[in-house]
Structure 1
């Protein structure tokens, strides 16, 4: 039995991350801490149930999924489904929501997010960065600063999948060798803001091009995300991002200038050791000859590919970091929810 009754969770936006979060919770040993009682998603219930059961990336759901009336039933547990397009369109208070997991990505500013609180949610956990550090009470990367959660927060951001992947790497490099400058190039799998064939739909002209025919450079806020979590690196990071035509799994090619002389073997030794000590799911290390598909459904925030570590000169290093941008991120979202729950449960709901 858990030390406290399960908290009541709602999911707003039941797309890739929303569905992965539900799956991650279903597979988690901590599932008794939570009860998903509501989902808000504009799509119809039949489609919601179908996409819960069958997923092209993560496989068939390992439980029983049924739809009846306004409810999605997961292994017999009812989840009320609504189809509102605004925070006020759902009577969250009626559902007695302890924690709303905001997975639509539509709401990033404090004024927008406060609308969920005003509509009856006690707390909001974002599956994306806030518009600025001031728009949320805390931005968290689990394993780096989750201990800063006190339980009194109302709006917490879980940062981005790329921030969760690279911040633990940069943090360790900076503590061990000192980071002078860092250049990060993300090779990111396709996302649903891209069309399958060229079409008019986006202000970024590159994102009008077919997702499955090209590698496409896109804008990224990764440097801003890194500096929010590691302020000592402010002004010393740059980032680029390229969408690549695969369904899932991404990588970051990291070039870093260090303050101490270092060899590739030193870096690999550091990360191999750190992976053995890291909290479960945070950091992994491998020397095997990998392809991206090897990391599909991998729960780690980041896996260092030691076979790709390079150095040139005494202080310039290149690392390659794999991560499942869906499943790894959903598991960190669950980790933060679990830690936050423990904090606010101490003082009652």
Structure 2
């Protein structure tokens, strides 16, 4: 048998194992609210090839490929346990088992590692929490996709309604079409039908009412059977407490803004300061995409090295706020054609750091250049550290942070030598450290951080909503803080 034959036989064997994993992962998700992960990446509703690629990905960050032959025994062990709602990382289980020297069987080790989610320790399933989207633009539609995807067993978050201004004939058909197809993020994973008579979009069995209103005061959500809902404002029209409080209508309990909040509105970056949200807080902001991209690695660097000062330069994709062709715009430079120019503009991300990281005393400045790409940006974070270090040390530290720290859902890591912006479309992390571009000289470190300013940010928004709804289930094995 040739090497090629060996390789192909090995591939077919792994393909068969991955195929057998799918029903086990699906059953755990539907029946027990258990989300199976691999190094923080969900394996729920993934194809055979996607599961194999996710295992392959571990090679570039952990140094060696993780095979389905290694993770499948742990998955089988999970199915035999009395699990409650949780997230369980097969990659972490396999890695820790390899380092464990007690001679436990896989079944014994797995039962011990996820003990907090089994038997008398398991938490109860939460009642579904109603969610309303106010606005249905770029972020609104991606958040809708994520909410529908995460509906799972029917528990957790439930998208009940979308509020938009009326747009004329076949308005709901056109909006459903934009949800179904996206030029950047591709096809919606599932089926979408439209009930025009009842003004309802049905996506993967989820009936979502489309409510037409020009102002928050025009809507009584209880008329649609909506109770104690979280409203996500995607318009950015209201950004202070007074304006956002207009959404606190009958049926709405909390309001989450997908833009930087002003005044005393808490700016939340999940993974960094989400645990500071007060239970009775009704108004909060998820800050900006750039703030979410820079704050987690900034915290990681400050925790390990101390940060004395810093500057962030964002090279940002163009947005709806710019013009396609030269035309009047109230802001400087943004009136010039977005697809034809690099446009210098301001960013509020640097000043927003103080709200998310109040213990960081280092001054952080920032600026931005909009460039002719429709999605994915890069933040160049230039830091003066409190102590000298080496490139190798920072490289290994950030890789470990991406794999094993409490920030592993926010910070990703790539060693791909030819990585470019389009490679990160659809990334679910707040930012991705580009290892090849990392520069360190004594007490100066320059981090290059890719981020999908649409999808990665939307994932952060949903995480915040899950947290305030009480449906963000614990992850096992537990991560050391």
* Length-normalised TM-score, structure 2: 0.68
Deviation of 1:29 after TM superposition, in Å, equals 6.8
Q: Deviations over 1:199-245 (max 9, x none)?
A: 12x21130100001111111211111111111233561100011111
| Counterpart position of 1:231 | 358
Do the aligned residues in 1 keep the contact of 2:176 with 2:201 (CA within 8 Å)? Answer: yes
Which of the pair is proportionally richer in helix? 2
Q: Look up the SS of the partner of 1:206 in the other structure.
A: coil
| Counterpart position of 1:262 | 389
Q: Look up the SS of the partner of 2:194 in the other structure.
A: strand
Do the aligned residues in 1 keep the contact of 2:438 with 2:448 (CA within 8 Å)? Answer: yes
Deviation of 1:71 after TM superposition, in Å, equals 1.1
| Counterpart position of 2:73 | none
Do the aligned residues in 2 keep the contact of 1:7 with 1:33 (CA within 8 Å)? Answer: yes
Which structure's relative contact order is higher, taking Cα pairs within 8 Å and 6+ residues apart? 1
Deviation of 1:120 after TM superposition, in Å, equals 4.2
Do the aligned residues in 1 keep the contact of 2:126 with 2:155 (CA within 8 Å)? Answer: no
Q: After superposing the two structures, state which structure 1 stretch, 105-114 or 229-238, moved more.
A: 229-238
Residues 121-270 of structure 1: pairs in structure 2 closer than 5 A:
121-132=252-263, 134=264, 136=265, 138-200=266-328, 202-234=329-361, 236-270=363-397
Q: Deviations over 1:100-148 (max 9, x none)?
A: 011111110111111111454111111111112x1x2x32111111122
1:37 aligns with 2:165: no
Do the aligned residues in 2 keep the contact of 1:72 with 1:79 (CA within 8 Å)? Answer: yes
1:325 aligns with 2:453: yes
Cα separation, partners in 2 of 1:187 and 1:48, compared to 1, 3 Å: same
| Counterpart position of 1:273 | 400
1:305 to 434, 437, 446: 434
Q: Look up the SS of the partner of 1:173 in the other structure.
A: helix
Q: Deviations over 1:320-339 (max 9, x none)?
A: 00111111111111111111
| Counterpart position of 1:338 | 466
Do the aligned residues in 2 keep the contact of 1:10 with 1:97 (CA within 8 Å)? Answer: no
Deviation of 1:85 after TM superposition, in Å, equals 2.1
- Structure 1 unaligned segments of length 5 or more: list them: 345-349
| Counterpart-to-counterpart distance in 1, 2:449 and 2:156 | 32
| Counterpart-to-counterpart distance in 2, 1:337 and 1:330 | 11
Residues 283-302 of structure 1: pairs in structure 2 closer than 5 A:
283-289=411-417, 290-302=419-431
| Counterpart position of 1:347 | none
Deviation of 1:27 after TM superposition, in Å, equals 2.5
Deviation of 1:190 after TM superposition, in Å, equals 0.9
2:410 to 274, 278, 282: 282
| Counterpart-to-counterpart distance in 2, 1:144 and 1:81 | 34
Deviation of 1:150 after TM superposition, in Å, equals 4.0
| Counterpart-to-counterpart distance in 2, 1:197 and 1:100 | 34
- Paired residues in the alignment total 340
Deviation of 1:248 after TM superposition, in Å, equals 0.6
Q: After superposing the two structures, state which structure 1 stretch, 95-104 or 185-194, moved more.
A: 95-104
| Counterpart position of 1:4 | 126
| Counterpart-to-counterpart distance in 1, 2:151 and 2:161 | 21
Do the aligned residues in 2 keep the contact of 1:179 with 1:259 (CA within 8 Å)? Answer: yes
| Counterpart-to-counterpart distance in 2, 1:91 and 1:267 | 53
| Counterpart-to-counterpart distance in 1, 2:242 and 2:126 | 32
Q: Which has the larger radius of gyration?
A: 2
CA RMSD of aligned residues (A): 1.9
1:81 aligns with 2:194: no
Q: Look up the SS of the partner of 1:67 in the other structure.
A: strand
Do the aligned residues in 2 keep the contact of 1:250 with 1:322 (CA within 8 Å)? Answer: yes
| Counterpart-to-counterpart distance in 1, 2:257 and 2:332 | 28
Q: Look up the SS of the partner of 2:428 in the other structure.
A: coil
Q: After superposing the two structures, state which structure 1 stretch, 281-290 or 315-324, moved more.
A: 281-290
* Length-normalised TM-score, structure 1: 0.92
1:104 to 212, 220, 235: 235
Q: Look up the SS of the partner of 2:396 in the other structure.
A: helix
- Structure 2 unaligned segments of length 5 or more: list them: 1-31, 34-124, 473-481
